A and B are shown apart, each in its own frame.
Chain A
Amino acid sequence: MSTPGSLLSFNINDGYIEGILRGFRLGLLSNVDYSNLTQCDALDDMKIHLATTGYGDFLENEPSPLHTTTIAEKCTLKMVEEFNYLRANVVNPLAQFLDYIRYGYMIDNVVLLITGTLHERDPEELKEKCHPLGLFDSMRTISAEATVDGLYNNVLIDTPLGPYIQSCLSKEDLNEMNIEIIRNTLFKAYLEDFYAFCMKLGGTTAEVMHDILMFEADRRAINITLNSFGTDLTRDDRAKLYPALGILHPEGIEKLKKCDDADQVKAAIDFYPKYRDLFNDTQFNEDKTLEDSFFEHEVDMHKHSFYRQGGYGAFYSYFKLKEQEIRNIVWIAECIMQDQKSKMNQYIPLFPN
């Protein structure tokens, strides 16, 4: 099903950068690194072990009592460095693809800005809390905007998310709508657009990203449903948040729209063996939440995109795996700080044996 001739011409523009990406992937922490980290007694020991991996001396200049937030920040900055290197060395369509990866983080930043402006926080403080991968140019003009209207007109419309914001939200919505609904509406528009873009690219990219994005959409649908119980989100409003793609779309989504509690959700997804297994996993294991099952499944899918040559799916997967690695490092660090060594092994290994 790959477009004929894809491997013949992929290397012209993207061969070098694919080699670089696979080099990055080899730098992800291995099982040996994780077992070294779990045996650390203090965060300074973790710093020493991380220095031997691809992270290198990134914590060198930090003052001695390390905090987990510093580790998280510095790891994220390393990821951003790698992203920027890749982004600087590519041309379209891979450049556009990498930009789509950034839009996900931009949505979180935009939501942060809107909330912050509504509560009249200091714009500088907000900028510091933004995820570094989701920065956009018009952020510099934020300090001049004190109102949400101003934010809408001058800042948000100019961002790459402008089309999504224009199609789903109006100025009044920013003030009135619940912030989580704004986030989910934007993400729905982004996911559908990204899916259409990947399908247009065709070939290996379309095959790999199809599975990944379908799972992302289904996961969102299930999470939206489960998180909406007990809030004042009406069924109709909730129905508007489900993305129009995924294995659950359209029949599973119809069932989810009518659900009112967790058992009904379980019954609704019972027809889909993959998700039924993920739900059942959590029942047999007390410490494992549904989110953990989803992360594990996601990690497995992302590893598979590296088995194909000549597509862009591996770029998306690399950054998701890197995020998971950072979450793992922070989890281990928190367990060390809070002296909960028994829970330390609940991180999600990227390369289980």
Chain B
Amino acid sequence: MGDVLSQMSPYLWASVGTGIAISVSVLGAAWGIFLTGTSLLGAAVKVPRIRTKNLISVIFCEAVAIYGIIIAIIFASKLTDSGKAPTDTDFFSGFALFFSGLTVGVVNLFCGISVGITGSGAAMADAANPALFVKILVVEIFASALGLFGVIVGIVMQSRAGFSGK
């Protein structure tokens, strides 16, 4: 096993990590947006006043995708090609970027889903009783904080990663 791992280029790991960070985050954001968007559209037909306020749920979901893109850009800017054989530092950086990307991606996936389901409930509750919106928004804010946790951990994990570039 150790031989296989040492034969695989660390750039593979780093690139896949970058890809996972952005793609799985976008998956979570998209899931959340359709969950909350469909309910919002349906409820807004009969109760138009909820339209503008409830877009905030969609914005929270979008924020999840933005976290993913920030992380991916940070990683991508660290990916430089030295042209020489990979050193131990390179292996460390490869693994760090991979697992950091995985962390950020999966955390954002669940964050997006969570905000989406809560947002869909918020839209329908707001349509029935305007006083409820602010209370449910608090729940959504907590859900949205999960994505932030992922970003913070991701940034800490890759802070010492760096490829020995030209």
Interface residues, chain A, with chain B CB atoms under 8 Å away: 7-8, 11-12, 15-24, 26-27, 309
Contacts and interface: CB of A to CB of B under 8 A. Distances in A.
Contacts of A27: 46
Interface stretch (B121-129, B143-151, B154-162): B121-129
Contacts of A309: 120-121, 124
Interface of B (DSSP majority class) = helix
A15 B45 contact: no
A19 B124 contact: yes
B46 A18 contact: no
A19 B128 contact: no
Interface of A (DSSP majority class) = helix
Contact of A19 (B34, B44, B113, B117): B44
Interface string B29-50: 0010011001111111111000
A20 B45 contact: yes
Nearest to A12: B34
Given A26-B127, A27-B46, A19 B35 contact: no
A11 B121 CA distance: 11
Contact of A11 (B35, B44, B45, B127): B35
Contacts of B124: 18-19, 22, 309
Given A11-B35, A26-B127, A18 B121 contact: no
Nearest to B47: A23
A23 B46 CA distance: 5
A22 B34 contact: no
Nearest to A14: B38
A16 B124 CA distance: 11
Nearest to B34: A11
B94 to A, nearest CB: 33
Contacts, number: 63
22 contacts: A8-B113, A8-B117, A11-B34, A11-B39, A12-B34, A12-B38, A15-B35, A15-B39, A15-B42, A15-B120, A16-B38, A16-B39, A18-B42, A19-B42, A20-B42, A22-B127, A22-B128, A23-B42, A24-B46, A26-B128, A27-B46, A309-B120
Interface residues of B, number: 21
A20 B35 contact: no
Contacts of A17: 42
B121 A19 contact: no
Contacts of A24: 46
Which of A15, A20, A21, A22 has its CB near the most chain B CB atoms (within 10 A)? Answer: A15
A39 to B, nearest CB: 27
Nearest to A22: B124
A91 to B, nearest CB: 13
A27 B46 CA distance: 9
A21 B31 CA distance: 22
A217 to B, nearest CB: 31
A23 B39 contact: no
A18 B128 CA distance: 13
B36 to A, nearest CB: 8
A20 B113 contact: no
Contact of B42 (A7, A8, A16, A26): A16
A243 B59 CA distance: 51
In the A-B complex, list the 5 residue pairs whose CB atoms are closest, starting with the nearest. Answer: A19-B42, A23-B46, A15-B38, A19-B43, A16-B42
Contacts of B34: 11-12, 15
Given A18-B42, A20-B46, 7 more contacts: A8-B117, A11-B35, A16-B41, A16-B42, A19-B45, A22-B128, A26-B127
A11 B32 CA distance: 10
Interface in B67-123: 113, 117, 120-121, 123
Contacts of B42: 15-23
Contacts of A16: 38-39, 41-42
Contacts of A20: 42-43, 45-46
A20 B42 CA distance: 5
Contacts of B35: 8, 11, 15
Contacts of B38: 11-12, 15-16, 19
Nearest to A306: B128
Contacts of A8: 31, 35, 113, 117
Interface string B7-38: 00000000000000000000000010011001
Given A19-B40, A22-B128, A26-B128, A7 B117 contact: yes
